[in-house]
Each structure stands twice: as C-alpha cells, then as structure tokens.
Amino acid sequence: MNIKTLLKLELKNRMKGNSQSKYSWLKSIFTVVLVAVAVYGLYLVAEIFFEMFDKAGIAYEALVILYTVFFLFMCFIGTSSTIKVLYYKGDNEILMRYPVSGTEVFVSKTLFLIITQFAVTAVIITPFLFGYAKTMELGEEFYKMIPVSVLFMMFIPFLLSNILAIPIMHVTNRIRNKFGLIIVGLAILVTLMFAVYMLLFNKMVTFMNDSEFSVFSDGFVQIIKDVATYLIPTKYFADVLIGHELYIAYPVLIGITGISLVGTILVIAKLYPKTLLNNIEVEGSAFKHKTKNRRRPIFVALLHKEFLQVFRSVNYSFQYFVLACAMPVMVYFCNNITMQLGKDQIGEQIALGMTLLVMLIFATVITSFSATSVSREGDNFYHTKVAPVSITKQLFVKFFMYLLVSVIANGICVGVLIFTKQVMVGVGLWLFVIVEALSIGLTLTSMRFDIKRPYFNLSGEGEVVNNNASTTLSVALGFIVAIVEGVLCMFLSYLAHDGFIVPGTEYILTEKMMYLVCSGFAIIFLVCSIFNYCFKLRKTYDKIAK
Amino acid sequence: MLEISHLYKKYMNSERFSVEDLNLSLKPGEIFGFLGQNGAGKSTTIKCLTGIYPFNSGSITICGHDIQKDPINAKLNMGYVPDNHSVYEKLTGREYVNYTADLYKVSKRDRNERFEKYVNQFKLMKAVDNQIKSYSHGMKQKICIIAALIHNPKLWVLDEPMMGLDHQSMVEILKRMDDHCAEGNTVFFSSHNLDLVSKICDRVAIIKDGRLQTVIDLHVKGNKETLETTFCKITATEQDIINEASTLSRNIVLHD
C-alpha cells in the first residue's frame, strides 16, 4: 500500500503544476500533440538516415551504430536519473521521517525510474525502428520483434545504471566543487556533441540534395562495416530484430540481463542504505576556500560577487558560461551548413544574412540569461536595497558582466568566421558591431523584463527553479530580432545583386544601402532598448517587494 | 540618530495602512526595543527605514540624512540584520563580510581589526573560510551580524535577532549590542521576548495595528517590572483575554 502511495507521490511531483491549473487538460493535450509531432519528426529523420546508409549498402551497420549510440545514451540518462531520484532527491530526508521502510521507498522510486526509462526508450527508439523497416521494406515479423527489442533496451541500461550510479556519484561528489573543471569539461562535451551532430546533419543535407549518389567514400564504408562487427553486445539488439544469428543474440542478451540483475541486487543490498545516509550529509556540504581580507573598489566587489554567484553554480555556469564557450563552434558549423543550403537554393548573395541570422540566434540564447538578473537574487534581494550603492550602479555591474561575456563570445565567433574564410575581415568587423549592438539591446530589454516582474521562486540551492516568463519573452524577442535583421540583410542583398531600381525613382539599390539599412535597424533597436531600460528604472525597482 | 516622522505605509494590494502616522526619535547611545504582536507593523517599519520598502508619506532620517532624498549617506550610517538571515550562500563567510566591507568602503586596517574581533567574539574562527551554505541557523545569523557591524554603523537595526538562537549565542549578541551602545552608537531592534527587552533596553516602543501606542522609558522606576502587563493591556484583543483566562483556569484545575 505504501509503495503505491509513494509511487503516486513521485509521479505527481514529476507532473506538478499540471493538476492544480484550471487548464491542465489543455496542457496535457498540448504535451501529447507535441510528443506526437516529435515522434513523427524522428520517424522522418530516421527514414533519411537509413536511406543514406542503405545507398552505401550499410543499412544494417547503421542500425547497429544507432543501437550503440542509443545504448550509451540510455546508460547515461539512466545513471543520471538513478543518482537524482534514488540518492540526491531532497525528499529522501523527508521520507525517512515517515513511517515507511527503506525498502518501500526504494521500490517505489525504482518503479518510477523503470516507467521513465520505458517511456524514453519507447518514444525515441520506436520511430527509428519504424523508419528502418520502411526503408528496408521489412514485413510483419520485424514489427512483432520491436517490443522485445525495446524491453531489452530498457532493462539492460537500467540495471547497468544501478550498478554504475554509486561509483559515478562518488566521483561527482569529489569534483562537484571544482567549478572550473566542470565548466571546461561540459564545454568540451557540448562542443563535441554539437560537432558530431552537425557533421551528420551536413551529410544528410548533402544526401537530400542529391540522393542518387552515396555520400560516403568506399574507405569510410569499410570502416563502418569493420566497426559494426565489433560492437558487442549492441549488435545483438539489431540481430534480434532482423532475425540474424538468433542462437547467439538471445543467449547473450538474456545472459547480460541476468548478470546485471544479480549485480544490481548485490549493489543495492550492500550499498544502497549506506550511500543514501551518507548522501543526505554530503548534499549539504560545502567547500573551504581560504582567502585573505582584501579591499576592492565597489564596482569590482559587485562584479566579483556576481561572477562567483554564477560560477559556483553548475546550473548557471552551464546556462551561461558553457554555452558562451561553445558558441563559436556552434556558429561555425551552423553557418557552414546554412550558407551551403542558402547558396544552393537561392544564391550566394544571401550568405551574409544567413551568418547574421545564425549569430543572432546564438547570441539570443546567451543573452536570455540576463532575464533572471533580479530573480536570481532570491532571498538576498534585500541586499540590493540596503547596500549604500545606487541601484543603477548595481544593475550596471550585472550588465557589464553580460557585456564582457557577450563581447568575448561574439568576438571569437567573428574571429573563427574570418579565420575559416567564411567572411572577409571588413565584413566580419561589421558583423561584430551589429551583433554586439543587438546583443546589448536584447540584454537591456531582458533585464528590464525581469525588473518589471521578477520571480523569486528558488530551489533549496538558491537557484531559479524554472525559467520564468521573462526568459521566454526574452528568447522570443531575440528570435524576432534575429529573423528581422537576418531576412532584411538577405532580402536587400538579393535585390542589390539583381540591380533593383527603387519604384518611382532612378535609384538603384546597392550593397551599401543594405549595410546602411541593417546598421540603422540595429542602432534604432539599441537606442529604443536603452530608453526602455532607463525609463522610470528606479521607480520600478523600488516597487519590487520581497 | 534616527528620526521617523509621520510615517505612512500601505502595501499595493492592501486596503488599510500597515504603518500609520508613526513618529519615533532615537538618541545616540541607547538601545531601543520595538514591540508588537505578529503583523503589528514592526518589520514593515524596519523595512521602510532600511530602504527596502518605499513608503506613502512621512520622512525617515538617519544621522541627518533622509532615506529617500539621500539614501546612500543614510545607508552608510546604518547596519541591518534581517529576520530571515539571508546571505549569499555560495560565498564563504570571509568573502561575504569582505564584500559588505567593500560596499561600505571600510579601510583594510579597520576591516582586519574588526573582522578578527567579531569572528573571535562570535566563535566563528573555524567556519569563516567555509561556504555559508554549510552554516547552521545561528552561524548564519552571526555572519549577518558581523557583516552589519564591519563598518561600525552609528545605527544598528536588527529585526527579531534572537529567533531560534541558543542561549550562548543570544548572550554573545546582547553583549555586542551593549558594547556598540557604549561606543555612542544606537541599537534599534524588534523582538517578541519581553523579558530580554526589559533587561537590555533603555526605551521601548509598542506598536499595534500599525499605530504607535506608547514609548516607555525603562529607566523610570517600576516600568521594567510592569512592561509585560503594559504590553498585554495595550496589544491584547478580546480573544487573547478569553484564551488567557481559559489557560489559567486549566492550570488551576491541574494544581488543585
């Protein structure tokens, strides 16, 4: 009985907010529709993916590689969820006060994890398998085996995650306060994942443009074939599906499931209660950092505090510093592909507009962090009112930090584009000025959104729980600005290239005019943002009551 | 030191004034207690005088500086300890105090001297370089107090400072309050602990429904002893009298 209640509590917690809202049913329908669209999207991508490999005669190998990537992904997701739900979740401390046994808490949480793992596995892998079946024109037998494959794919990573969770958690506990290391590691990981994703995407785009020829060289095809042979045990998942060497595939998969089940039972029986109790203590632990008393000018002191607040939070660092670090790589790849696409479909003249659009979209993602400037203060908001420093100065320091990060990120982006000869030096400098002007405008507008309506809803660690409405607004505005400026640049370049004559005059639209109009838009947006930010700033800030 | 004149404060969505026509005048070298039931307007008054809340009308001056017209100089003369002892938990104790000292432009010599003195007085030597998020309730309160005192403010404002503290910690804070006043500064604090207030304060003000009811000089003979009775007489509602009577009758039955 307790297990059922605890499981219900866990599920309710996951869907909190939905049940209380008047329009919760609408939200549920929206979620279902969104998932259905995503699944269909994955199915379409899967079709192109397998067609591309099938053209090179390596569709089976592609399935094996896909299973391998997915297996690793599910192990990662499973381990991360197990650590969060079983060991780190704040409710462990609360649940231990109730008259429920540790076994009941464990079983209910494990059931919750299995449900989640099953949902993720089914939603992600099924469309790919349907895509494979469609491409390879497979029959009923294949579809019948999909549930078997999904179950293996769910249980094996889940059981392995339970074994891996404790050692991985010990490692993360050791490095959790090494913020510099975490930021660098995450930046490298995000960049690598993005690079691999974009390379594959690039191949798919090339294939879509000309599906008559294989996009892979003979050498590459051979490498994929060789690699796929050694991808054990993941190749057996594919074998079960297509009925290949079943006398090996089934025993291997059943054997792995059995061994990992025994391993999980041993780990849980021996280590779970001990680790849980230990973790309740570790979660609240903090680091020691010996410093000397040092006098700093007010501006530097405020900046130093602001930096530490972001730097010493893995969540904030990821949202801000990591994305800023990864931005140049993202811009490089995206720009490369969009330019290629644009040139092929429309013409070379839209390349600059595409670059502008891509840079502004990434700049928007980074600047949206400033939409939590005030909210992030949380319970410490009173400090900003009590301190003998004007509000304008305190806000300026926050702005200065955003400006610093934005200038560095945009500067490196433009540097990369110039270095890789995607743009010329002069054009690169113009791009930098325009993107920076619009970034400043967006930062100020986002800050103003938050000043007008801050959300002091923070988690136990003192961090903003959910991205608030100001962040959503800020991202939406950023995308609108990016599209307007990007499309304006593309459109005017296109017209200038064709020697368009302005109606009613003899004036021929030139490239110079395009630069002037785009610069004009950026300047107008910047000026409006500054005016909007400064207008009754102190009065609005004074109104905030926490 | 602190002059509050005809202070009116009404919250945005409220129909009544939370503080109404409040007048107070605090002298240098005194400890001034601010008493009232929950919701009487104590914290609102304190938040107005520290600059956290704007107010509808009236004026507040600290050491001759108007909190609305000259907020920076007014705040430079004041140290504030909030009721929820919120601090930047990602910083260490030392980083937090240094940050505050920087904002109040405290010289390196003064901050070193005061830092050592207060950290020793409040027994935080071992924890001062740890991240504040590892601190206990009392330790957070103490680091808030050190940060509020690092610039040696002329006016020290504390909002219910003794809440949840053990006996030793309370004694340490009371000692610091006493020492601060002995140096010619003023302490203004709100509390629910009548016994403590009667022991340490020079004067107390009682507030009810946002209105100042009385200011009592505790140096006048008999006022200390009758503080509790006076407070109950002023603030008690009809329900409080019924509750108190029923509690007493139960005690009588128990003793019989």
* DSSP secondary structure, A114-183, as one string: HHHHHHHHHHHHHHHHHHHHHHHT--HHHHHHHHHHHHHHHHHHHHHHHHHHHHHHHHHHHHTT-HHHHH
Q: Nearest 5°: phi and psi at A294?
A: -135, 135
To the nearest whole Å, the CA of A464 is away from the closest chain B CA by 14
B90 touches chain A (CB under 8 A): yes
Comparing B233 with A371, which gets the higher pLDDT? A371
Q: What is the pLDDT of residue A203?
A: 75
Determine the pLDDT at residue B256: 43
Q: Among B99, B110, B124, B157, pick the best mutation site for testing chain A contact (most A Cβ within 10 A).
A: B99
CA distance A221 to A56: 7
How many beta carbons lie within 10 A of that of residue B14, not counting itself?
9
pLDDT at residue A518 tops 70: yes
Chain A residue with Cα closest to B96? A305
Reported as half-sphere exposure (CB side, CA atoms, 13 A), residue B150 has a value of 31
Longest dimension (CA), chain B: 66
Name the CA radius of gyration of chain A, rounded.
27
State the Cα–Cα distance between residues A369 and A471, nearest whole angstrom: 7
Residue B255's pLDDT is: 47
CA distance A457 to chain B (A): 15
| A interface residues, B as partner, C-beta within 8 Å | 284-291, 293-298, 300-302, 304-305, 308-309, 312-313, 378-380, 382-383, 385-390, 461-462, 542-543, 545
Q: Which residue of A has its CA nearest to B73?
A: A388
Evaluate whether residue B228 is within a structural domain: no
Instruction: Identify the three-state secondary structure at position A34.
Output: helix
Q: Would B152 be classed as within a structural domain? A: yes
pLDDT in tens, A22-45: 667 777 788 888 889 988 988 888
Instruction: Tell me if B89 sits within 8 A of A378, measured CB to CB.
Output: no
Mutate to test the interface with A, among B56, B68, B89, B111 (most CBs of A within 10 A): B89
Which helix (DSSP H) or strand (DSSP E) does residue A53 occupy?
Answer: helix A24-55
Mean pLDDT, rounded, for B231-241: 77
Reply yes or no on whether the pLDDT at A237 is more than 90: no
Q: What integer pLDDT is reported at residue A546 of this predicted model?
A: 63
Three state DSSP letters for chain B: CEEEEEEEECCCCCCCCCEEEEEEEECCCCEEEEEECCCCCHHHHHHHHCCCCCCCEEEEEECCEECCCCHHHHHHCEEEECCCCCCCCCCEHHHHHHHHHHHCCCCHHHHHHHHHHHHHHCCCCCCCCEEHHHCCHHHHHHHHHHHHHCCCCCEEEEECCCCCCCHHHHHHHHHHHHHHHHCCCEEEEEECCHHHHHHHCCEEEEEECCEEEEEEECCCCCCCCCHHHHHHHHHCCHHHHHHHHHHHHHHHHHHC
B214: left (phi over 0), alpha (psi -120 to 50) or beta: beta
Per-residue pLDDT at B157 = 94
Could you write out the three-class secondary structure of A308-329?
A: HHHHCCHHHHHHHHHHHHHHHH
Domain that includes residue B206, residue range: 2-221
Question: What's the average model confidence in pLDDT over B115-122?
Answer: 90
CA nearest to A179 within chain B: B90
User: Pseudo-torsion of CA A220, A225, A231, A233, nearest 10°?
Assistant: 150
Q: How many CB atoms lie within 10 A of CB A197?
A: 12
Q: Which residues of B touch A385 (CB under 8 A)?
A: 50-52
Characterize the bridge pairing of strands B186-191 and B31-36. Answer: parallel
Mutant choice from A178, A179, A295 vs B, greatest count of B C-beta within 10 A: A295
Q: What is the mean pLDDT of residues A88-110?
A: 71
pLDDT in the model for residue A388: 93
- What letter would DSSP give residue A508? B
Is there a domain that residue B249 lies in?
no
pLDDT at B215 over 70: yes
pLDDT, position A16: 58
How confident is the model over A338-347, as pLDDT tens digits?
777 766 766 7
Q: Which of A133-142, A458-467, B130-139, B213-222 shows the lowest mean pLDDT across its residues?
A: A458-467
Residue B53 phi/psi, 5-degree rounding, is -110, 140
Percent of chain A with pLDDT over 90: 22
Residues B46 and B214: their CA atoms lie apart, in Å, by 17
Interatomic CA distance for residues A125 and B179, integer angstroms: 71
Cα–Cα nearest to B156, from B167, B148, B147: B148
Per-residue confidence at A449, pLDDT binned at 50, 70, 90?
A: very high
CA of B46: which chain A residue's CA is closest?
A386
- The closest CB to that of A387, out of B54, B89, B103, belongs to B103
Q: Of A270, A252, A262, A450, whose CA–CA distance to A368 is shortest?
A: A450
Among all residues of chain A, which has the CA nearest to that of B88? A380
| β-sheet bridge partners, residue A353 | none
Q: Do A291 and B129 touch (CB under 8 A)?
A: yes
Out of A2-6, A92-96, A251-255, A423-427, least confident range = A92-96
Cβ of B52 and A309 within 8 Å?
A: no
Going A509 to A512 to A514 to A520, the CA torsion angle's sign is negative
Q: Is the Cβ pair B51, A385 closer than 8 Å?
A: yes
Average pLDDT (A278-282) is 62
Distance CA A522, CA A525 (A): 5
Backbone dihedral angles phi then psi of residue B65, each to the nearest 5 degrees: -105, 125
ipTM of the complex: 0.88
Chain B residues inside the 8 Å CB shell of A304: 99
- Using a CB–CB cutoff of 8 Å, tell me whether B223 touches chain A: no
| Cα(A420)–Cα(A423) distance, integer angstroms | 8
Instruction: Determine whether the interchain pair B89/A462 forms a contact, defined as Cβ–Cβ distance below 8 Å.
Output: yes
Identify all chain B residues contacting A390, using CB atoms and an 8 Å cutoff. 71-72
List Cα–Cα distances, B40 to A337, B189, B232, B236, in angstroms: 66, 15, 14, 12
Closest C-alpha among B62, B28, B63, B64 to residue B48: B62
Rounded to whole angstroms, the Cα distance separating A219 from A394 reads 60
The reply to whether B253 touches chain A by the CB within 8 Å rule is: no
Q: Which two tokens stand for residue B203?
A: 């004067």
Q: How many residues belong to chain A?
A: 546
Instruction: Tell me the chain B residues in contact with residue A302 when contact means C-beta distances shorter than 8 Å.
Output: 103
Nearest CA in chain A to B54: A542
Query: What integer is the mean pLDDT of A514-527?
Result: 94
Q: Please name which of B70, B2, B75, B52 lies closest in space to residue B32, comparing C-alpha atoms.
A: B2
pLDDT average, residue stretch B140-165: 90
**Chain A residues touching residue B104 (CB < 8 angstroms):** 388
How far away is chain B from the Cα of A537, in angstroms, using its nearest Cα?
A: 14
Radius of gyration for chain B, computed over Cα atoms and rounded to the nearest angstrom = 19
- Select from A315, A386, A464, A544 the residue whose CB has the most chain B CBs within 10 Å, as the one to mutate to test that interface: A386
d(CA A53, CA A200): 12
Residue B248 placed within a domain: no
d(CA A347, CA A128): 34
Partners of A283 on chain B (C-beta within 8 Å) are none
Whether B160 is in a domain gets the answer yes
User: What is the rounded average pLDDT for all residues in chain A?
Assistant: 83
Residue in B52, B72, B88 nearest the CB of A388 = B72
- Please name the residue of chain B whose CA is at the shortest distance from the CA of residue A300: B102
Cα of first residue to Cα of last residue in chain B, in angstroms, is: 54
Give CA separation, A320 vs A212, A368, A370, A380, A393, in Å: 43, 9, 9, 21, 22
B51, B53, B86 ranked by CB distance to A380: nearest: B86
Among partner residues A304, A313, A390, which is closest to B90 by beta-carbon distance?
A313
Give backbone dihedrals phi and psi of A91, rounded to 5 degrees, phi first.
Answer: -75, -10
Question: For residue B26, what pLDDT band results from cuts at 50, 70 and 90?
Answer: very high
pLDDT band at B23 (very low <50, low <70, confident <90, very high): very high
Burial state string for A151-184 with b = 16 or more CB within 10 A and e = fewer than 16? ebbbbbbbbbbbbbbbebbeeebeeebebeebbe
Q: Tokens in use for A248?
A: 């090996």
In a domain, B121, yes or no: yes
Supply φ then ψ for residue B105, to 5 degrees.
55, 45
Q: Domain with B137 in it: what CATH number?
A: 3.40.50.300
pLDDT at B251: 58
pLDDT of residue A528: 96
What's the structural domain count of chain B? 1
- Report CB contact under 8 Å: B94, A293: yes
Residue B157 belongs to some domain of the structure: yes
pLDDT value for A533? 94
* Tens of pLDDT, residues B39-76: 888 999 999 999 888 899 999 999 999 999 999 999 99
A516 pLDDT exceeds 50?
yes
CA dihedral (B235, B241, B243, B247) in degrees, to 10, reads 110
- Per-residue pLDDT of A132-174, as tens digits, reads 888 888 888 888 888 888 888 888 999 999 888 888 887 877 7
Which amino acid is residue A224, in one-letter code? I
In a domain, B125, yes or no: yes
SS3 label, residue A458: strand
The edge-to-edge listing of strands for the beta sheet with B2-9 is B19-26, B2-9, B57-62, B65-66
pLDDT above 90 for A396: yes
Q: With CB atoms and an 8 Å threshold, state whether B131 touches A290.
A: no
Cα(A368)–Cα(B104) distance, integer angstroms: 32
Q: How confident is the model at residue B100 (pLDDT cuts 50, 70, 90)?
A: very high
CA angle B107, B30, B1 (to 5 degrees): 60
The Cα diameter of chain A in Å comes to 87
Residue A89: helix, strand or coil by DSSP?
A: coil
pLDDT in the model for residue A1: 54
Nearest of A196, A483, A200 to residue A358 by alpha carbon? A483
Look up residue A101 and give its two tokens: 């046994």
Question: CB neighbours of A533 closer than 8 A, spacing ≥ 6?
Answer: A444, A445, A447, A448
Q: Is the separation of the CB atoms in B58 and B74 below 8 Å?
A: no
Rounded Cα distance between A319 and A402, Å, is: 13
The tens digit of pLDDT for each residue in B170-192 reads 888 888 899 999 999 999 999 88
